[in-house]
Amino acid sequence: MVSASASVSAAAPIRLGMVGGGQGAFIGAVHRMAARLDGHYALVAGALSSDSERAKVSAAELGLDPERSYRDFEEMARQEAAREDGIEAVSIVTPNHMHYPAAKAFLEAGIHVICDKPLTSSLEDAKALVQVAKKSGRLFVLTHNYSGYPMIRQARRMVGEGDLGDIILVQAEYPQDWLAEPVEETGNKQASWRTDPQRSGVGGAIGDIDTHAFQLATFVTGLKTESVAADLDSFVPGRRLDDNAHIMLRFGASPNGRRAKGTIWVSQVAPGNENGLKLRVYGTKGGLEWKQEDPNYLWYTPLGEAKRLLTRAGVGANEAAAAVSRIPSGHPEGYLEAFATLYTEAAGAIRAMREGALPADLLLPTVEDGVEGMRFIQACVNSSRDDAAWTRLDSV
């Protein structure tokens, strides 16, 4: 799919715009590198900051035509839709509360949307966005980038093919330590909006990183989460959103009638953890373990046999992993490559849609996945308020 030799199509690059991602932002730059790596996009327009000076400088730095550096996303959607050479797709990389209005504006203008996670800042917005997206007929991609890692694709395929038997256990965790102190009070821009309910929504760590863990667990296992019992905390005094969550999960019945269980632990206050997303999946026939910080490895133990270290593009890698690998084993690919895979798959989908047909086997996270993530956030918040009582996702 993104195999090296085919990583750039003869076709002209897709014209891309960006909302958010001006100077000082983290994720905007990541989206741009992801869009560039395989050569499928050209960034040609942006509303890069709500601060007009910063927007202008950022646009200049990126070499955008000043005319196509917009004051806000409404103007951008309107004007780009009107141009013959207007953008075909837009990346939305703002704080969460802007996802919904921005995505709505572009979808309604007929422009494909690639949107950072979580989907929105409220479940209500999320549900509304599903309708907007459906009606638009445009592509909507939610950048749960970790699902782009080759060994995650490998794991998903292995589970799907029954290598693990019936899944019984899903253990996920995502500890960090960058919010161990009240850095939001000292001008850290990233911390500031992520701990602000107005901009983030009801979830702190849960919205920011737990949705990743949840999405990954779902993506790999194909299981549907039925209910959660969650205990949320704000360990840093004065913090307004959770910075740690302990969550127990109960999954819906598998085709064989098995009901898996699991836990997710996420934290932003655990010293010694940088970006420790980890997923372990156990079934009746085997187990898998994967760590985001060492993403080229996947531990696989068939029950009753020795543990094996599968490597990206190595001898144990399956077709699902190979399809999204760029370089040989032993040459580590990282976070940006996995992120780029989503962009590249989106490019394939956009090109297919030009011909009218959305590929059937797309693995890209959808707006519906985003709603499920928002349900998960809300159910965790509700559960925690109710002293960690079991809360069904379909009850919120």
Strands 14-19 and 89-92: parallel
Under 8 Å CB-to-CB from 386, ≥6 apart: which residues?
A: none
CB nearer to its own copies: give 199 or 259.
259
Q: How far is the CB of 135 from its own copies (least distance, A)?
A: 34
Cα diameter, the chain: 64
Cβ proximity of 130 and 368 under 8 Å: yes
CB nearer to its own copies: give 295 or 365.
Answer: 295
User: What minimum distance in Å lies between the beta carbon of 327 and its own copies?
Assistant: 6
CB 192 within 8 A of CB 351: no
DSSP lists the bridge partners of residue 288 as 281, 300
Lookup: tokens for 307: 């543990």
Please name the helix (run of DSSP H) or strand (run of DSSP E) that holds residue 43, with its range, or none: strand 41-47
CB within 8 Å of 364: residues ≥ 6 apart? 141, 142, 342, 345, 346, 349
**CB 357, min distance to its own copies, A:** 22
Cα gap 72→19, rounded to integer Å:
8
End-to-end CA distance of the chain: 37
Q: Which is nearer to its own copies, 253 or 303 (CB)?
A: 303
Structure tokens at 182: 């009240």
Q: Which lies closer to its own copies via its Cβ, residue 199 or residue 250? A: 250
Residue 126 CB, shortest distance to its own copies, in Å, is 26
- One-letter amino acid for residue 294 of the chain: D
User: Shortest distance, CB of residue 393 to its own copies, whole angstroms?
Assistant: 17
Helix (H) or strand (E) holding 372: helix 367-385
SS3 244: strand
Give the tokens for residue 65.
């035509």
Q: Report in angstroms how near the CB of residue 384 gets to its own copies at its nearest.
A: 11
CB nearer to its own copies: pick between 358 and 389: 389
**Tokens 């898998």 map to which residue?**
288
Q: Are 58 and 22 in contact (CB under 8 A)?
A: yes
Q: How far is CA 323 from CA 87, 147, 166, 220, 339, in A?
A: 28, 13, 26, 16, 14
CB of 348 to its own copies, least distance (A): 15
Q: How far is the CB of 363 from its own copies (least distance, A)?
A: 21
Q: Tell me how far, at minimum, the Cβ of 368 lies from its own copies, in Å.
A: 27
